Structure 1
Amino acid sequence: MTQRINYMQQSPELFKKFLDFNNQLHESAIEASIRDLVTLRASQINGCGFCVDMHVKEAHIHGERELRLHHVAIWRDSPLFSPRERAALAWAEVLTKLPEHGVPDDLYEHVRAQLSEKELSDLTFLVMAINGWNRASIAFKAVPGSADKAYGLDKANLA
């Protein structure tokens, strides 16, 4: 695959603002392990190879177990995720796919049983961000692994 354009270079001001927004999410009420799972799952749903590659490497660097990374795609059937992680993954999926009639009340109530209002709000912004990154990377055919050195992902030693 060949990248179409480098959107970061073409729109540096917008890229920087979006990156700043994304980086602010590292200070959110959502712990890193859930951020890793959610960004990986949304990227899988969207079919973003660049982002799936990136988030697997990030999660590995953060100490996530390999089997759990394999199970993210089948999280509903896997015993490896806590109720809190399941709620976050369900929220990420519904916001990534957005059903025609919005988020069902029963799903909202299920997620609210696991997350505070602040956590749910922060998680929503995280899902918004990863879906934005997915769309840019897909639109311009970002090549998986092409930014490993720039983002420090070479430290994952997964190549």
Structure 2
Amino acid sequence: MEVRFNYQQANQDAFRAMLKLEDYVKTSGLDATLLEFIKIRASQINGCAFCLDMHTRDLRKMGETEQRIYLLSAWREAPFYSDKEKAVLELTEAVVRISEQGVPQDLYERVRAHFDEKEYVNLIMAVNTINAWNRLAISTGMFPKEDK
């Protein structure tokens, strides 16, 4: 596999704009583990190997258990996630797949049981940001480097 081109070098203004979004999300006050869960779950749905590799590594460095990382794609069947985490994962799936059914009212209410309006917008911004990173990585042919 070969990367098609380095999008950071090809369009530095676009890359800086993405970094501003990323910086906003990182400093929004949302829990760092939840943010990595969002990044991993969205990247699983979008099929972004580059981002999956990066964010699973990041979450391990943060001290998250292998089991919770491995089971993120099957979070509904795993008893290791809190109601708050489940609400965020379900919201992530709904926003990534927004054209299928939007964000149903009952999901909105489950998320709002844990987050105020500002935090809700921050969650949406987190999903939007990783979606954009996924699309950049996939469209430019980025892939993870193999461990040796």
Q: Give the TM-score, by structure 1 length.
A: 0.88
Structure 1 residue runs of 5 or longer lacking an equivalent are: 147-157
1:25 equivalent in alignment to 2:21:
no
1:88-99 matches, within 5 Å, as 88-99=88-99
Runs of 4+ with >4 A deviation: none
Q: Confirm or deny: 8 A CA contact 1:43 1:130 kept in the other structure.
A: yes
Q: Is the 8 A contact 1:56 1:69 kept in 2?
A: yes
Residues 54 and 145 in structure 1, CA contact (< 8 A), matched pair in contact too:
no
Task: Kindly report the root-mean-square deviation, in angstroms, between the aligned alpha carbons of the 2 structures.
Answer: 1.5
User: Contact 2:34 / 2:88 at 8 angstroms: preserved in 1?
Assistant: yes
Number of residue pairs matched by the alignment: 148
Residue 108 of structure 2 is matched in structure 1 by 108
Structure 2 unaligned blocks of 5 or more = none
Percent identity over the alignment is 39
SS of the residue corresponding to residue 75 of structure 1 reads: helix
Distance 2:125 2:118 in 1: 11
Secondary structure of the structure 1 residue equivalent to 2:76: coil
Q: Name the structure 2 match of 1:67.
A: 67
What SS is found at the alignment partner of 2:71? helix
Quote the offset at 1:101 in angstroms.
4.4
Q: List per-residue Cα deviations over 1:72-114 (Å, max 9, x = no partner).
A: 0100111010011001101110000114442111111111112
The AA in structure 1 aligned to 2:81 is F
Corresponding residue number in structure 1 for 2:77: 77
